[in-house]
Structure 1
């Protein structure tokens, strides 16, 4: 079965594209040479079943963070038939360096410029055909969020899979060019294929950022938002929790108690006081947990959660953590499991512990 590896920097819409391609039919699997689990799914492209692997977002191949090592080891030990590189079109001048590094590995590459609709709003003009000629790789513009250009990109992926992988260098790190050479090539590509206004228009997001990330007002606003968030969760969740508890109590008293009255005391107590009461106690908290994750998903999709990590970075540094550690602590209020799983994004083992 042919394999496609999704590569890109963090927050480029890589996972959104992965979910669109797989339809959410994804599973977690282990791979030779790496010790973490990667999300992967299977789709039908043309007449072939293809496996898609969503690799962690990285900024370059030089670093020593866990995510960067995972990507290097995966590419070295599990050469994909196609590397689908997703770049954020609104930050093209910073993102193209990763593409140039990946090119040195002699991979079969297709590039997707995601968020192209947002780039146009900023006045950024990208000549994808000219860029494709300069880089000698297929390049397509699309919006992973709205699906614009998705079908054309999918056809290009299908075509690219017909060609065999040219082969990788024996050692990933040793085959990467020097930074100066990459920067020179990057400057040439940007100069001839990308036009960025000298001053980008100030949009609503930037206006809000000036207030939300203010050195003095940022933290008070953040704690105020978190207070309102938790107050909203409990104000909405408490009546639902009470309703679920009352419903389960009614079910116990009107249906289960008469039904099980003829059983021996030991079995009666085990079923009602043990199993049913245990399940009912957990079930009563489900509405609050669901509300927490719904509201947290809204906050995350708004982009404020990443800004919260930035705001809390200095404070968390005093405890030997970074801003992302606070996000994990925040998730722990809803459920410990995703909070613990989320610690995998933290760069050092000491921080995760």
Structure 2
């Protein structure tokens, strides 16, 4: 009895504490690529991924921060150019601000392009007067000799205005004070914009009829009159719905007779642009307008119909060359380290009289498999991810989307698919979830189903190893590295070609439709923050992906070792299964071990090569293969030829997604049908490609024997 009373008192104290410490609910809005997620991370301390290209926020993210001993909740809304609800991002942002009753709205603006950002500020102010305008990228404006009078801007808007450089951590203290001050402002009725006389009079008459406590009646009147707005949600907040509905019908008839009804949106947009220009003319002074010329000169090259594609291929090849050349030395050191570690562990197990079964499971199974994954994966990822993130931070990725938009249009899909394809280089699961930036459900599905044709980081080690062993070795240094880079680039380009091809086929069969248009902002080129980029890439991407791979490799190593060492009638389980798969695998130019390795590598592509090695070793464990020359000898001794290498390359590029990606596909589509198709399409295509290449190669050998 006493215990129950103490528990009840504890719960009451906790409820009282939460009530006393509960702060404000804050909505964070902004155009794409104005540093909104950077502001969010700076306030909440979270690690929402940021980058210099539009569309990074594809869902609502929430976080908290403490100020004056109160815990405030912040909601990061999708980047949007307006609240007219033409796209899903605009609808999500507008509905949250309207119906979630947030205490403060923060609108992030780009100091170098204030007039364009002012449209969103004015639309937000129409909903509520509790708005804080964040003028971000003040450091960029200063470099471009753009001077902003923030005090005058605050006077004209009658809201709090805070200048910030969020990337450099400047302005957060002032922002917190502005939030506190704004949240305490009383909600009041106010008119932000003046429209065409006929529309303005209709709004005024309707606003006087509306009864909706806590709402700006002028904004409600505008939305109820708008022919493109689904008005049920807005009618639901009224206490005199029937009276207002009658009044709305009368006013709409009046607007139709005056010709305003058909031009409703044009009138609103013109009023927004006029007010935004008037404000910025008074607050913004540009000393030298030539700051855009440098970006324009670069864009003439990188978005050129010919030079733009050459730039893409050269940059892609350069990244791969640096990755391949730079990964060799650290990979060798890591391999040598794990060789010594395994020897020390074997010695320790002998001294401790550990059973041979446990010693094999732990050292030859877990440690060796994990050691291979770390030695082969970590160096390339630690180089590739920072380089790719530097391009992203520089602002080059949207230019890739611009260049590829024509090809995606020909494939009857959306140009935004180029951005999701770029995400797939890091992880296909990320590329799948990133498809949310595509508005059309049809085009979003196509992007999801074809993302697997871009090799993720888990497949890069396999591709690089096979290319280096069987093809680049024909040349002496340094030409071997350049040849390996060229071949890897061609493999990636082939994957991109398959993306276009399969997208086109899907658009003409299962997912028929016409391509949608989209607006893509080309952000200004910015000097990447090298230190932050390297740290973010290593901790947010490299170590995260490596940790996932090791978590899969450890249990997989145990299973593989058992399969390779447990015998049934003198033959190991691994030999039984690979022998069963061998006839079909031979048709694909592979063997049973290779096909089994891909099947067992379903949880993570990173463990495919370790499985091959384990299966090929007569002892049932991996040898101390610290270099690719010994690894090639092992493969050749087990029947590998140049045909086997090519077919393995192809199947590594084109086969079923890993388990994580398939689970993400099911989560995004909410359909097992599309999840199965995402599994079957690349698998069947990969099998057909391998069979075709194998048949053609053997035909060539019959005609022109070596």
Match of 2:223 among 171, 174, 178: 174
Change (3 A) 1:202 1:329: closer
Match of 2:43 in 1: 21
Partner secondary structure for residue 80 of structure 1: coil
- Greater share of residues in helix: 2
Q: How many residues matched?
A: 345
Q: CA deviation at 1:58?
A: 0.6
Match of 1:141 among 163, 185, 190: 163
Matched, 1:41 2:63: yes
Q: CA deviation at 1:335?
A: 2.3
- Give, in whole Å, the separation in 1 of the partners of 2:432 and 2:424: 8
Structure 1 unaligned spans of 5+: 28-35
Q: CA deviation at 1:93?
A: 1.6
Q: CA RMSD in A?
A: 3.0
Match of 2:33 among 4, 7, 11: 11
Partner secondary structure for residue 104 of structure 1: helix
Matched, 1:110 2:132: yes
Match of 1:245 among 301, 326, 335: 335
Match of 1:317 among 409, 420, 424: 409
Partner secondary structure for residue 4 of structure 1: strand
Match of 1:280 in 2: 371
1:168-317 to structure 2, matched below 5 A, reads 168=215, 174=223, 178-196=268-286, 199-202=289-292, 204-256=294-346, 259=349, 262=353, 266-284=357-375, 285-317=377-409
Partner secondary structure for residue 62 of structure 1: coil
Identify which range, 278-287 or 211-220, moves more after superposition: 278-287
Give 1 or 2 for the bigger CA radius of gyration: 2
Identify which range, 168-177 or 305-314, moves more after superposition: 168-177
Q: CA deviation at 1:270?
A: 3.7
Partner secondary structure for residue 153 of structure 2: helix
Match of 2:429 among 329, 332, 337: 337
- Give, in whole Å, the separation in 2 of the partners of 1:78 and 1:273: 57
Change (3 A) 1:83 1:70: same
Change (3 A) 1:144 1:258: closer
Structure 2 unaligned spans of 5+: 1-21, 50-57, 189-213, 227-264, 446-706
Q: CA deviation at 1:73?
A: 3.1
TM-score (ref. length: structure 2): 0.45
Identify which range, 226-235 or 141-150, moves more after superposition: 141-150
Contact 2:34 2:110 in 1 (8 A): yes
Q: Which structure has the higher relative contact order (CA within 8 Å, separation 6+)?
A: 1
Q: CA deviation at 1:13?
A: 1.0
- Deviations 1:14-41 (CA, angstroms, capped at 9, x unpaired): 11122222233679xxxxxxxx853222
- Give, in whole Å, the separation in 1 of the partners of 2:288 and 2:98: 40
Partner secondary structure for residue 98 of structure 1: helix
Change (3 A) 1:330 1:188: closer
Match of 1:159 among 170, 174, 181: 181
- Give, in whole Å, the separation in 1 of the partners of 2:338 and 2:361: 17
- Deviations 1:172-231 (CA, angstroms, capped at 9, x unpaired): 781688223323322332333333468434564443333222333111012101110111
Change (3 A) 1:65 1:274: farther
- Give, in whole Å, the separation in 1 of the partners of 2:324 and 2:187: 54
Match of 2:508 in 1: none
- Deviations 1:72-131 (CA, angstroms, capped at 9, x unpaired): 332244222111111011111211111111111125100011122322443433322222
TM-score (ref. length: structure 1): 0.85
Q: CA deviation at 1:61?
A: 1.3
